Amino acid sequence: MKTDLFGTRRDDPIGPGAMILRGFALDPAILADVAHIAGISPFRHMQTPGGRQIGVEMTNCGALGWVSDRHGYRYEPDDPLTGRPWPEMPAGFLRLAQEAAAHAGFPGFRPDACLVNRYVPGVKMGLHQDRDEADLDAPIVSVSLGLPATFQFGGPQRGDPVKKHALEHGDVVVWGGPARLAWHGILTLKRGEHPLTGATRINLTFRRAR
Ligand code: SIN
Ligand code: FE2
Q: Which helix (H) or strand (E) holds 140?
A: strand 140-146
Q: Which domains does the chain have, with CATH numbers?
A: 2-207 (2.60.120.590)
Beta bridge partners of 204: 116, 143
Mean pLDDT for back-to-back runs of 10 residues, the chain (210 residues): 66 97 98 98 98 98 98 97 98 98 98 98 97 95 98 97 98 98 98 98 98
Q: Give, as one character, the DSSP assignment of residue 179.
A: G
Q: What are phi and psi of 132, to 5 degrees?
A: -95, 5
pLDDT at 8: 85
Task: Report the alpha-carbon distance of residue 110 to residue 148 in Å, rounded.
Answer: 28
Check if 201 has its Cβ closer than 6 Å to any atom of ligand 1.
no
pLDDT at 147: 98
> Is there a binding annotation on residue 206?
yes
User: Measured from the CA of 201, which atom of ligand 1 is nearest?
Assistant: 7
> Is there a binding annotation on residue 204?
yes
Whole-structure pTM value = 0.96
Q: Give, as one character, the DSSP assignment of residue 194.
A: B
The residue whose CA is least distant from atom 2 of ligand 1 is 185
